[in-house]
């Protein structure tokens, strides 16, 4: 429906090749020793910042600027790429779940009714990330859902928790598990049989993404469904504390464990007649588990036993695949994205990243939609990521390979938009390894250089930006910005994203004279980038898009 035809831009030409580079996890912060972008040699990004003043600026990448509930919510790749691609700010999963819980609408929806059917006879299993990071899930939402489920008749509840340490401080999982245990104890006093049944670190159990490593999902299945794991404990807090005490152990990579009763039997395997809810609202790291729970035909690993369950996601994780079929809260309906408009208007697009961020620059970019809009106009290339390693071991990742693909795509003359995501700052930043993150930032900068050199060669345009902060601040700080120390006097490493703004730079020989950043959008954010791109491709942006960051002055 509607018209996809975009009006011609009155001043800007069509047909230029534009390289659009998204540096994942690359924010702008005060220069100090914990700012890896500052410490690293990044001559290319430095030259953009110190170049023409009206062609570099900062944009907001967190909080309400990307559809999150509050200004205390750090940015993340899902909401960041959604905003970049869609050109408008949509209320995101975190916020939609908040409202559905607050209004009680969640309990009136089809998804909840569906799982409620078995509350009398079966167990309700809740599976997801134990965190208050607000990126994939939030503990306060789980607490409300528990309360609501009990009020609506749930009598036996089992939680399968994935420890975080990636969107929150490492070690915080202990506190989260204690909080949850207190709630469950209160429920038990009221006669509800409620317990934690299994657990494991998010990067090692269940929450893989983009089919990078199915063994991660299998470990989750084994613990949650089959009740099998290498470690058995009587309670989850003890499990987490004990497993964390191993050398090099951390929340992100805790091995899977199951909780057993006095006779050594697992307390909560998933069996016929049970209900299962995956309570993460964010899609990317739940899609694979959702497939394992929902698909009759499934060949990614041997599920051994496939219980007949009623399964619902917190949200529907993939609108194209309609996966899962049942869900508690409607996902944001991100429609009419810039990618779709541009294909209708003859702009041919190439998109590329390595596996761990491939879906970011395609699926999230296109409003959580899988695949191309028009395969004749678009080519999406995924470079396989190293799997089974933590990225501080290979901080250069596939930056060079991604840059080479972009270079070849630009030189091929087959595309007007060549879009890449360079994951280094983010993926290595999440490991908390400062030395490795410095190497990562340098590698990303070198990749940017290769792409900008190619743009120069063909007379094209570049737009370099980022989706949220990460590598620019690797330490937890107090209100005055001083690093916080832990009990033993060590700095508290910040593995998560930040609240910082991100840079955006435009340039290249193909950029029409007179193009510059407007001065009247000081609060501009990631959602303003789509209209900017559409202008640079020679079109007026749709009227309801957030305004373009650029203007064209006569000179």
Q: Residue 185 corresponds to which tokens in the numbers above? A: 């104890």
Binder of ligand 3PG out of 130, 135, 139, 243 (CB under 6 A)? 135
**Residue 285 engages ligand 3PG in binding (rule: CB under 6 A):** yes
CB of 285 to ligand 3PG, least distance (A): 6
Binder of Co ion out of 426, 446, 472, 500 (CB under 5 A)? 426
Asked whether the beta carbons of 419 and 337 are under 8 A apart, the reply is: no
Please state, in angstroms and rounded to a whole number, the distance separating the CA atoms of residues 15 and 414: 11
Specify the stretch interacting with ligand 3PG by CB under 6 A; choose among 73-81, 262-270, 296-304, 399-407: 73-81
**Residue nearest Co ion (C-beta atom):** 426
- Was 426 annotated as part of a binding site? yes
Asked whether the beta carbons of 539 and 343 are under 8 A apart, the reply is: no
Please state, in angstroms and rounded to a whole number, the distance separating the CA atoms of residues 246 and 235: 18
Specify the stretch interacting with Co ion by CB under 5 A; choose among 299-307, 343-351, 426-434, 545-553: 426-434
**Residue 166 engages ligand 3PG in binding (rule: CB under 6 A):** yes
Active-site residue (options: 47, 77, 172, 173): 77
Binder of ligand 3PG out of 28, 98, 167, 446 (CB under 6 A)? 167
Query: How many CB atoms lie under 10 A from the CB of residue 283?
Result: 25
**Residue 138 engages ligand 3PG in binding (rule: CB under 6 A):** no
Query: How many CB atoms lie under 10 A from the CB of residue 372?
Result: 17
Please state, in angstroms and rounded to a whole number, the distance separating the CA atoms of residues 374 and 501: 33
**Residue 77 engages ligand 3PG in binding (rule: CB under 6 A):** yes
Closer residue to Co ion in complex, CB, 251/426: 426
Please confirm, yes or no, whether 77 is among the known catalytic residues. Answer: yes
Binder of ligand 3PG out of 42, 44, 76, 195 (CB under 6 A)? 76
DSSP strands (E only) in 60-184: 124-130, 156-163
Specify the stretch interacting with Co ion by CB under 5 A; choose among 9-17, 263-271, 372-380, 422-430: 422-430
Report how far Cα 72 is from the mean position of its chain's Cα atoms: 17
**Residue 426 engages ligand 3PG in binding (rule: CB under 6 A):** yes
Asked whether the beta carbons of 167 and 136 are under 8 A apart, the reply is: yes
Specify the stretch interacting with ligand 3PG by CB under 6 A; choose among 45-53, 74-82, 270-278, 451-459: 74-82
**Residue 35 engages ligand 3PG in binding (rule: CB under 6 A):** no
Reported as half-sphere exposure (CB side, CA atoms, 13 A), residue 460 has a value of 27
285 interacts with, out of ligand 3PG, Co ion, none, CB within 5 to 8 A per kind? ligand 3PG
- Residue 56's DSSP bridge partners are 505
**Residue 28 engages Co ion in binding (rule: CB under 5 A):** no
Closer residue to ligand 3PG in complex, CB, 349/498: 498
Binding mask 11-30 for ligand 3PG (x = CB under 6 A): -------------xx-----
- Distances in Å between the Cα of 209 and the Cα atoms of 162, 317, 389, 414 are 15, 12, 14, 30
Closest CA to 427 of 142, 177, 209: 209
Token match 């069996």: residue?
A: 271
Token match 């004990």: residue?
A: 242
DSSP strands (E only) in 279-331: 310-315, 327-329
Preceding peptide of 324 cis, ω within 30° = yes
The annotation places the binding site at 24, 77, 136, 166-167, 202, 209, 282-285, 357, 426, 430, 467-468, 497
Q: Interface residues with Co ion (CB under 5 A)?
A: 426
Q: Interface residues with ligand 3PG (CB under 6 A)?
A: 24-25, 76-78, 135-136, 166-167, 285, 426, 430
Active site residues per annotation: 77
């Amino acid at each position: 429906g509607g018209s996809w035809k975009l009006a011609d831009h009155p001043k800007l030409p069509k047909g230029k090749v534009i390289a659009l580079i998204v540096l994942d996890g690359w924010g702008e912060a005060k220069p100090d020793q914990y700012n890896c972008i500052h410490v690293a040699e990044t001559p290319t990004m430095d030259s953009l910042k110190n170049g023409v003043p009206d062609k570099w600026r900062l944009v907001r990448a967190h909080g309400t600027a990307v559809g999150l509930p509050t200004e205390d919510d750090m940015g993340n790749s899902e909401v960041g790429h959604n905003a970049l691609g869609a050109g408008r700010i949509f209320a995101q999963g975190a916020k939609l779940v908040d409202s559905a819980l607050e209004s009680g609408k969640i309990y009136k929806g089809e998804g909840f009714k569906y799982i409620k059917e078995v509350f009398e006879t079966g167990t309700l299993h809740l599976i997801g990330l134990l965190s208050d990071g607000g990126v994939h899930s939030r503990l306060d939402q789980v607490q409300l859902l528990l309360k609501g489920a009990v009020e609506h008749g749930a009598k036996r509840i089992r939680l399968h928790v994935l420890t975080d340490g990636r969107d929150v401080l490492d070690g915080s999982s202990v506190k989260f598990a204690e909080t949850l245990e207190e709630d469950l104890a209160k429920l038990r006093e009221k006669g509800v049989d409620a317990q934690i049944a299994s657990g494991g670190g998010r990067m090692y159990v269940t929450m893989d993404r983009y089919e990078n490593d199915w063994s991660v999902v299998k470990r989750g299945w084994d613990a949650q469904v089959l009740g099998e794991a290498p470690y058995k404990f009587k309670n989850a807090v003890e499990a987490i504390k004990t497993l964390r005490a191993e050398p090099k152990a951390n929340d992100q990579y805790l091995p899977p464990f199951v909780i057993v009763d006095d006779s050594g039997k697992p307390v909560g395997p998933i069996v016929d007649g049970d209900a299962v809810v995956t309570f993460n609202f964010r899609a990317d790291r739940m899609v694979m588990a959702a497939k394992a729970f929902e698909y009759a035909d499934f060949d990614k690993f041997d599920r051994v036993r496939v219980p007949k369950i009623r399964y619902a996601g917190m949200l529907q994780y993939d609108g194209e695949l309609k996966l899962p079929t049942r869900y508690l809260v409607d996902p944001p309906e991100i429609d009419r994205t810039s990618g779709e408009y541009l294909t209708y208007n003859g702009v041919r697009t190439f998109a590329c990243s390595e596996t761990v961020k491939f879906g970011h620059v395609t699926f999230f970019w296109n409003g959580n939609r899988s695949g191309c809009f028009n395969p004749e106009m678009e080519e999406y290339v995924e470079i396989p990521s190293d799997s089974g390693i933590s990225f501080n071991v290979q901080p250069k990742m596939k930056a060079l390979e991604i840059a080479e693909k972009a270079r070849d795509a630009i030189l091929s003359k087959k595309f007007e938009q060549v879009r890449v995501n360079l994951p280094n700052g983010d993926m290595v930043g999440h490991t908390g390894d400062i030395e490795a993150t410095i190497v990562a930032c340098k590698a990303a900068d070198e990749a940017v250089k290769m792409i900008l050199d190619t743009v120069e060669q063909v007379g094209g345009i570049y737009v370099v930006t980022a989706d949220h902060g990460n590598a620019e601040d690797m330490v937890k700080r107090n209100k005055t910005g001083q690093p916080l120390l832990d009990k033993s006097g060590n700095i508290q490493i910040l593995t998560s994203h930040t609240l910082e703004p991100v840079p955006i730079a435009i340039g290249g020989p193909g950029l029409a004279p007179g193009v510059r950043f407007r001065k009247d959008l000081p609060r501009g954010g990631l959602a303003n980038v789509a209209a900017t791109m559409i202008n640079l491709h020679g079109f007026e942006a749709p009227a309801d898009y957030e305004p373009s960051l650029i203007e064209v002055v006569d000179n």
